[in-house]
């Protein structure tokens, strides 16, 4: 994992600090860009990030950063070993966190699939294949109008790369999806 510039968070240790743990951070956005501390001022629920438990944070980082283009926000290490990394999607402000699973713990995520949208899906998938990555289902247009490809991360978490474009929230698309699900 590339080591970002160290930013001192606090000179004091707090009661919650773990010994041997250090914080390394780097801004994920362009210089001068401000991150909003609160996205929602009117009390509505907003989505923050998805936590993905992995067997090896560094291997997961290489997949999401090097192959999919996610940008490192911060990482944490314990005794020099990466145990957590927070990443921002290359387009937009969606984030994921990779968290070291406990020894012997399952990282299975049956019933959960991560969706990442990319306008030029076919080209993106070709580039992944050129880097030697296996795509379990190449891009195809679904009955509801979305173009989808499927793959798995190194820990077997299911990922859908897709392009919905204008079809994302159209009622006719939702009806077609329900109809396709019944057949």
37 lies in a domain?
A: no
List pLDDT tens digits, range 4-51: 433 333 333 333 333 333 333 344 444 444 444 455 568 899 888 999
The residue from 84, 103, 122 where one domain ends is 103
Q: Check residue 172 and give its pLDDT.
A: 65
- Tokens 């956005």 belong to which residue? 29
Q: Does 149 reside within a domain?
A: yes
The CATH number given to whatever domain includes residue 119 is 3.10.180.10
Strands annotated E in the chain = 21-25, 49-54, 71-78, 81-88, 95-100, 113-117, 137-141, 147-152, 158-163
**Contact at 8 Å (CB) between 114 and 158?**
yes
Please check whether residue 96 lies inside any domain of the structure: yes
Average pLDDT over residues 81-101: 95
Instruction: Report the C-alpha gap between 94 and 91 in whole angstroms.
Output: 8
Do β-strands 147-152 and 158-163 pair in parallel, antiparallel, or remain unpaired?
Answer: antiparallel
Q: C-alpha angle 80/57/31, rounded to 5°?
A: 85
Kindly state whether residues 72 and 116 are assigned to the same domain: no
Residues 6+ apart with CB under 8 A from 168: 146
Residue at 32 is within a domain:
no
pLDDT 10s digits, 125-175: 999 999 999 999 999 999 888 999 999 999 999 999 999 988 887 766 667
Tell me the C-alpha distance between 61 and 72, whole Å. Answer: 9
Q: Are residues 68 and 135 in the same domain?
A: no
pTM of the model: 0.71
């Amino acid at each position: 994992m590339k080591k970002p510039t160290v930013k001192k968070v606090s000179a004091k240790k707090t009661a919650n600090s773990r010994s041997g743990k250090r914080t390394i951070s780097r801004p994920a956005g362009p210089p001068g860009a401000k991150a909003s501390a609160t996205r929602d001022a009117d009390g509505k629920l907003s989505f923050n990030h998805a936590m993905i438990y992995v067997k090896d944070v560094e291997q997961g980082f290489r997949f999401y950063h090097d192959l999919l283009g996610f940008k490192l926000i911060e990482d944490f290490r314990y005794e020099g070993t990466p145990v957590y990394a927070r990443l921002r999607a290359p387009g937009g402000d969606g984030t994921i966190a990779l968290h070291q699973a406990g020894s012997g713990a399952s990282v299975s995520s049956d019933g959960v699939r991560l969706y990442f949208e990319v306008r030029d899906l076919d080209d993106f998938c070709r580039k992944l294949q050129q880097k030697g990555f296996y795509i379990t289902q190449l891009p195809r247009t679904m009955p509801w109008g979305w173009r989808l490809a499927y793959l798995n991360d190194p820990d077997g978490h299911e990922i859908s790369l897709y392009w919905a474009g204008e079809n994302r929230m159209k009622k006719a698309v939702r009806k077609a999806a329900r109809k396709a699900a019944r057949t």
